[in-house]
Structure 1
Amino acid sequence: MSKTVAIIGAGIVGVSTAIWLLRDGHKVILIDKAGPAAGTSYGNGGVLASCSCVPVTGPGLIRKAPKMAMDPNQPLFLKWGYLPKLAPWLWKYLSHANEADTRRIASAVVNIVGDSLADHQALAAGTGADAFIKPSDYLFIYNDRAHFDADALGWDIRRGHGFTWEELEGDAFRAYDNVFAPELGMAIKLANHGRISDPGAYVKALAAHAGSQGARFVKAAVEDVRIENGAVTGVIAEGATIACDACVVATGVWSGPLAKKLGVKVPLESERGYHLELWNPSFMPRSPVMVASGKFVATPMEGRLRLAGVVEFGGLEAAPSKAPLDLLRKNAKAAFPGLTWDREEEWMGHRPAPADSIPVIGEVPGASGAYMGFGHHHIGLTGGPKTGRLLAQMIADKKPNIDVGVYSPARYISNN
């Protein structure tokens, strides 16, 4: 039976959901206060990072975090005046910094991101947006083998989920790509990954395709969801009701207030992310890379090299900080000796971070037709197409081929 579905949020999750619903014969209304790809879907690192299932909250983070936050050379920044408001979320977040929870979270996340390249290719097929998808390797770059061995738990978890890789040291690394500083002596090369050559244009192209297939666009802020007799009948946007049979809350870090109105109290914070784009660089790495020493990603894109990966906690209201961008610039110069560029573009955006590091995906108990899809931290682009497909299957009353219970909003209803 065809349904009319209002999707709140036109980032990668919302647009992916729209396309899969349209292919299944449903009617779609995409509602966004700023238009497609106006937020994090524009500014992400651009890597289809299938192997990025290991959460930041690994063992030892509780001990390391205070030192990192006070060291300007570490990729973690904190606006100290925000700490009192952050503290309840931070306490829950750090409570997962142990091996058992790290493995549990990774097992949940890998089902969303583990086939990212294929998921994006399936989503973009026939849309024109597939031109932005570039299959590639993905490299993790370390100073030496001892540096790599310090990440043993993460790699053990990846191995357990079927990831394989090639270890390149010395001459073998230089033969693959010789643009890196000599002190970076080892690379882990994972095949079957990919990159998006222009994330903002990619999501806008997907949205345009959705429009060509009949999706209706509304530029407005949604204030509430109308529930009658336990079921969704519409959403309220700027005072007007838009009738629908189902709705999806997919507004990233701004999903919290709507979720709360639906009875779902998600401990959600902004993982403020920065990128620095170096336009017309004198050279680029062969593949997207994660430089482990600086915890930053460098991704070749159309006409520029995008650097991303710094994390700052400071809420939604504070202006961008200078220090994270300075660190990205400093780390890039250290990793890529001799690199020059014509101009720079800076960006700061808000990545949605639930305290348990697992996305919120699924139907709200007690509110038939109300669905949620948000909370992917820094891997929203990677996991967007799979999330959209799962939501489309749930809305159509089809059973997904994975256990989706771990993502359910139900986990935030009781004991809150």
Structure 2
Amino acid sequence: MDTILVGAGVAGLSAGVNLARKGVQVAVIDELPPASGASYGNSGFLVADTAMPIALPGMYKKVPSWLLDPDGPLRVRPSYAAKAFPFLARWLWASRMQQVHKSNEAMRRIQNPVFQDWKALVAPQVYSSLIRETGQIYLWDGVGPFETRIEDLLRSKFDVKARELSQQEIKDTFPGITPTIGRAMLVPGNGHTINPGRLVQAVKDELIEAGGAILHERVQRLWPAADGGWSVMTTGSLRKCRRVVVAAGAWSARLLAPLGIHVPLESERGYHVILPNPSIKLAVPILHKTGYFGANSMEMGLRLAGTVEIAGLEAEPSPSRCEVLVKQAHKLFPGIKHDEPIFWMGHRPSLPDSVPVIGAVPGFKGLFTCFGHGHCGLTAGPTSARLLTEVMVGASDGADLQAYSISRFR
């Protein structure tokens, strides 16, 4: 085998497709079926224009009130707090304005081409049926003035188009919305998908069509082989290859740690709720900036996604986090009707500066990474994979990937 890609999410599958189309023998290994994790359970937002890091200046002032509010957007489980502290400390350090500008620029480079790179990955009929380039609408509760100075600055730096909506436009766009919404902004350069799971499954189909393989095994360990290649021990076999791409999402750090490669990767456990057969259908998805959640009408119903829980990879889900999202939906649309909600929890692979690690690992010939996309994997995964595979096939010297190097953490 020439190349093994660990992880069947959007990043691993996209890299596999790009390599296979170049004639490279590839296998994607994951114990779960493709698009079973965060690549399935996300909000479906495609944020081409608004590349905002999660850590922003002044956010530290809000953290205590969030942690004390059972319905707040952030929860750190007490039993995990000591383990989470190093990540949270680095996250707060990344909120410095100098770092925010760096992160914003790096994120934008891999998010802005999202529509072109999705078009290159999947068939035209898949793209047209599942992806919408209709923008997103941001909402705020209450009455102004609304202080969004930093976000306004980052948008203006790249001339991101945005338009304020009048109160009448808000009512016309979202019939039945609560009158407590005081501000709305349309960002026309963003978009969404109506079924992220089915979209990523289409990438898997392209991989098979291009001659790649999918192996349903769990990778237990990887190490450099004596012949200069790599050994990959899985629950099914000991597999040999020339190169390895670690694209295992929130589990990536565990695979790299035995090699002495340590990355401050944390699972920002995200929750979503599907409201089946809702009485409300959104023509444009909503990002509720006050409530810190998104709402998107999908094929299976109205999906509400958001909140952050820091509790590691092993803790059981918290149904209360999903119940918060249901309450938020009823607060936003007081008259909404729907069938029994469906709950889900997954692991966002997050780094403190919101910038993924993409590219060759210095000091380890044949080892590459493509993980850490946090809240934006569906957006940035395809472009990240393209840039990585251009390096792997010799079409790029990798200079464009300096900002994403894993060496920034070493």
3-state SS of 2:87 partner: helix
Unaligned runs of 5+ in 2: none
Structure 1 letter corresponding to 2:173: Y
- Once residues 180 and 131 of structure 1 are traced to their aligned partners in structure 2, the CA distance between those partners, rounded to angstroms, is 27
CA 1:325–1:349: 2 relative to 1, 3 Å: same
CA 1:329–1:400: 2 relative to 1, 3 Å: farther
Contact persistence 2:122–2:206 (CA under 8 A)? no
CA 1:267–1:252: 2 relative to 1, 3 Å: same
Contact persistence 2:391–2:398 (CA under 8 A)? no
Residue 67 of structure 1 deviates from its aligned partner by 1.5
- Once residues 175 and 95 of structure 1 are traced to their aligned partners in structure 2, the CA distance between those partners, rounded to angstroms, is 42
Residue in 1 that maps onto 2:32: 34
Residue in 2 that maps onto 1:49: 47
Match of 2:374 among 377, 382, 386: 377
Unaligned runs of 5+ in 1: none
- Once residues 137 and 398 of structure 2 are traced to their aligned partners in structure 1, the CA distance between those partners, rounded to angstroms, is 30
Output one character per residue of 1:32-73: Cα deviation in whole Å (capped at 9) or x when no partner. Answer: 011201111111111112234211211112221122111123
Output one character per residue of 1:225-276: Cα deviation in whole Å (capped at 9) or x when no partner. Answer: 3324694334222373322221110010000121223332101111010001
Residue in 2 that maps onto 1:361: 358
Residue in 2 that maps onto 1:320: 317
- Once residues 248 and 130 of structure 1 are traced to their aligned partners in structure 2, the CA distance between those partners, rounded to angstroms, is 30
Structure 2 letter corresponding to 1:215: G
Residue in 1 that maps onto 2:191: 194
Residue 129 of structure 1 deviates from its aligned partner by 5.9
Contact persistence 2:121–2:206 (CA under 8 A)? no
3-state SS of 1:205 partner: helix
- Once residues 402 and 152 of structure 2 are traced to their aligned partners in structure 1, the CA distance between those partners, rounded to angstroms, is 26
- Residue 326 (structure 2) pairs with residue 309 (structure 1): no
Residue in 1 that maps onto 2:230: 233
Residue 332 of structure 1 deviates from its aligned partner by 0.8
Q: TM-score of the superposition, structure 1-length normalised?
A: 0.93
- Once residues 386 and 133 of structure 1 are traced to their aligned partners in structure 2, the CA distance between those partners, rounded to angstroms, is 16
3-state SS of 1:247 partner: strand
Match of 2:240 among 234, 238, 243: 243
Residue in 2 that maps onto 1:80: 78
Contact persistence 1:173–1:185 (CA under 8 A)? no
- Once residues 12 and 260 of structure 2 are traced to their aligned partners in structure 1, the CA distance between those partners, rounded to angstroms, is 21
Q: What does 1:13-412 correspond to in 2, within 5 Å?
A: 13-125=11-123, 128=126, 131-143=129-141, 146=144, 149-228=146-225, 231-238=228-235, 240-399=237-396, 403-412=400-409
* TM-align CA RMSD: 2.0
Q: TM-score of the superposition, structure 2-length normalised?
A: 0.94
CA 1:369–1:130: 2 relative to 1, 3 Å: farther
- Once residues 53 and 99 of structure 2 are traced to their aligned partners in structure 1, the CA distance between those partners, rounded to angstroms, is 9
- Once residues 127 and 227 of structure 1 are traced to their aligned partners in structure 2, the CA distance between those partners, rounded to angstroms, is 42
Residue 145 of structure 1 deviates from its aligned partner by 6.6
